[in-house]
Structure 1
Amino acid sequence: MAYLSIHDDGPVRVIRIARDERLNALNLALVDELVAALEAADAEPQVRAVVVTGGEKAFAAGADIAEMADATAVDMKLRDQFRAWDRILGVHKPVIAAVRGFALGGGCELAMACDLVIAGESAKFGQPEVKLGLMPGAGGTQWLARRLGKARALELLWLGEPITAQEAMALGLVNRVVPDDTCVAAAVELGKRLAEMPPVALRCIKEAVYQAMDTTLADGLEAERNLFYLLFATEDAREGMRAFMERRKPSFRGR
């Protein structure tokens, strides 16, 4: 891996963006590596959760502008660089972003594409593309509109100003804010807690919640019920209910 550092901490795969000399600017090759690493983790049974993080100064300071500065509209259309980002949403396991420093532009979009976000106190989130005469292209307008509503999303997108970790948490973009030096550890600890949960149930819950973001209530309720019924075919559901009745801790195996 040219741009990533990867290791396992028990059942948690930790993927660190390691292009520190460019504040982890997201070029095409880096995104391809990251998506491939996420898909590999998703396919490995011993990995139960994934943490994506960056450096102390930047989670990812945005896209690599040098790759786009001289591109034409046709170049960008043929490059179709954001298609790889869609594959991030296809990862079934929990993905946690551990964000320190700048998470701007594509970096903010990457954090929002993760399921949960743990932010260090230094974290700054924002979509400054408008200041380049551009707009987000990796989901920024869609994530912000869905999470914040029209007015707040437009304010952030039109002004392009960053917000602090505490402001991001108040808006619902961040799950919790911790000291910078404990940020990655806190994300890994959360991943380990999720690793103790039944993997198939986690996957079904994730599917239902993401479907709720872009469907009607009636369709969402129907999908939830069908996934609920499906879980009764799993060994984990039988184990969980037996353990509850026997007053012991369940042992989930992902079956």
Structure 2
Amino acid sequence: MRATRDGAAASGRRPAGALLLGEAPPLCGALAEDAAALARHTENGERLLERLPAPPDRDAEQRRLAASVFASCRQTREQFMRRHADEVYDVLTEGCVRRYRLSELVFAAATRFPGLVPTRVQVDAEGALIQADKEGREIDQGIFFRGILRSPAAGAHLADTMLLASPRALALIDGFRRDGRADLGAVLVERRNGAGHLTVRNYHCLNAEDNALVEAMETAVDLVLLDEGVRVGVVRGGVMTHPRYEGRRVFSAGINLSDLRNGRISFVEFLLRRELTYVSKLLRGLLLPPGEATFAASSLHKPWVAAVDSFAIGGGMQLLLVCDRVIAADDAFFSLPAAQEGIVPGAGNLRLGRLTGARLARRIILSGKRIRATDSEADLVCDEVVPGHAMDAAVESAVEELDSPAVSANRAMLALAEESPDQFRTYMAEFAFTQACRLYGEDVISKVDRAWSRSRARERPRA
């Protein structure tokens, strides 16, 4: 019998670990009693896991035992969240008075409801390991966030919280208003003639996305939306120093597979935060806190231009789905290879079909079809294709065309018509759990390890 990473057994026979741990406790429906039962059951599970070797050193029987322990504990966590998501969220946020961002919320839950999610110590310990050597405790965070996000009340409050300006942006906004420039490392933000230009500069990996880039992108988008001197936002890749594309601009190479293989892609701070913060803010705008909101405006909306040089892969292509004008160089291409990598392409599954139609969306997402800027289908994902040397002029023209209060108002209404907040919240609830499981899928770990090995082989000097 083979056990999968998410703890589901491949046969109906109950493994020995389930007998040692005992049956998942029945929940009575009262929060305090159910929380105590959850804590007892998961504590027993942790004691069993402590007797086992580290994951890479386990034999087949020990892997089956660990999988059965996690499966039993996760079943209890899932039942607990189905019954108590709103109560849990109310306790953590003091009746929705406090607004916790993702990491704050999940680690507060670890303290207040022992056994519900991994502690900070457990998450930090896993973060020091390569992906293949982890227990997969982020799956438990996925169960938690699925429960919160599928609640219309708690999920909406959390989604709104993530649309507020980030603490880092609030600390930097006065300087940006004064100087019109913020160097965030992986992203440079500049105000030029009423446009906020975000230049992505993750040079070492062809603008692939990693934890640091997600942090920088949210801050950059916030600064553009907060600055009254900016009326249109522009996202473009910088000029690369990487040997393969030296001297050329690149939009995005998608998720950094080397970081994924090496265990440095955070489920909460990358995969969830990305979708719920800056990608959502590009589409829905920046939510104003109650003290700043007025009867006339509860959020800040601005149109966005995406300028695609070379390629927009994975997360790069996902950004195009929420921008108002997409300009591509005639040698560029677009792709969403997440299914080939084994993961879910963010909210691409929710949004791509609205632009391309269902059949083409399936070929792009499920089969990895690339769209070149010169293909007939390209006008479904971009608005204008120009020679590389004409990109600067095309961007300036698009900024001028979109620089209107009426454009901002109408693009906000278009976003609401195309994707309601409840539709997005419901999608993200299932995304949270599915993506967490996919991070630990055996196929994903094998694929990223092979990609990492090939990359290392290319980097080795020849004799």
**TM class by smaller structure:** 0.7 to 0.9
Counterpart Cα distance in 2 of 1:17 and 1:214: 27
Counterpart Cα distance in 2 of 1:86 and 1:168: 29
Q: TM-score, normalised by structure 2?
A: 0.42
Change (3 A) 1:168 1:187: farther
**Structure possessing the higher relative contact order (Cα contacts under 8 Å, 6 or more residues apart):** 1
Q: 1:61 and 2:266 equivalent?
A: no
Looking at secondary structure, tell me which structure has more helix per residue: 2
Corresponding position of 1:7:
190
In 1, are the aligned partners of 2:196 and 2:224 still within 8 Å (CA)? yes
Counterpart Cα distance in 2 of 1:212 and 1:23: 35
Of structures 1 and 2, the larger Rg is shown by 2
Change (3 A) 1:11 1:105: same
Corresponding position of 2:397:
189
Looking at secondary structure, tell me which structure has more strand per residue: 1
Cα deviations across residues 102-142 of structure 1 (Å, max 9, x unaligned)? 100011112222221011112110001122122312x2112
Counterpart Cα distance in 2 of 1:136 and 1:186: 29
Q: Which amino acid aligns with 1:88?
A: L
SS in 2 for 1:117: strand
Corresponding position of 2:206:
23
Change (3 A) 1:16 1:103: same
Corresponding position of 2:304:
95
Q: Which amino acid aligns with 1:211?
A: L
In 2, are the aligned partners of 1:26 and 1:63 still within 8 Å (CA)? yes
Corresponding position of 1:238:
none
SS in 1 for 2:261: coil
Q: Which amino acid aligns with 2:280?
A: D
In 1, are the aligned partners of 2:284 and 2:415 still within 8 Å (CA)? no
**Aligned match of 2:315 in 106, 119, 137?**
106
In 2, are the aligned partners of 1:51 and 1:97 still within 8 Å (CA)? yes
Counterpart Cα distance in 1 of 2:345 and 2:376: 18
Counterpart Cα distance in 1 of 2:190 and 2:393: 13
123-132 or 56-65: bigger deviation: 56-65
Change (3 A) 1:185 1:67: same
Counterpart Cα distance in 2 of 1:190 and 1:78: 33
Corresponding position of 2:228:
45
Corresponding position of 2:351:
143
Change (3 A) 1:145 1:14: same
In 2, are the aligned partners of 1:23 and 1:57 still within 8 Å (CA)? no
Change (3 A) 1:170 1:108: closer
Q: 1:129 and 2:338 equivalent?
A: yes
Identity percentage of aligned residues: 28
Cα deviations across residues 160-215 of structure 1 (Å, max 9, x unaligned)? 132101337644210100111221331122112322x2x2x222201211122136
Corresponding position of 2:409:
204
Corresponding pairs, count: 210
Change (3 A) 1:203 1:145: same
Cα deviations across residues 2-37 of structure 1 (Å, max 9, x unaligned)? 111232321111111011231100112212211211
Deviation at 1:41, TM superposition (A): 1.1
**Aligned match of 1:83 in 263, 270, 276?**
276
Q: Which amino acid aligns with 1:69?
A: R
SS in 1 for 2:382: coil
In 2, are the aligned partners of 1:104 and 1:162 still within 8 Å (CA)? no
SS in 2 for 1:135: coil
Q: CA RMSD in A?
A: 2.3
Change (3 A) 1:100 1:110: same
> Structure 1 regions of 5+ residues with no counterpart?
216-255
157-166 or 206-215: bigger deviation: 206-215
> Structure 2 regions of 5+ residues with no counterpart?
1-183, 239-247, 286-300, 421-463
SS in 1 for 2:375: helix
**Aligned match of 1:120 in 323, 329, 346?**
329
Q: TM-score, normalised by structure 1?
A: 0.74
SS in 2 for 1:53: strand
Counterpart Cα distance in 1 of 2:419 and 2:208: 30
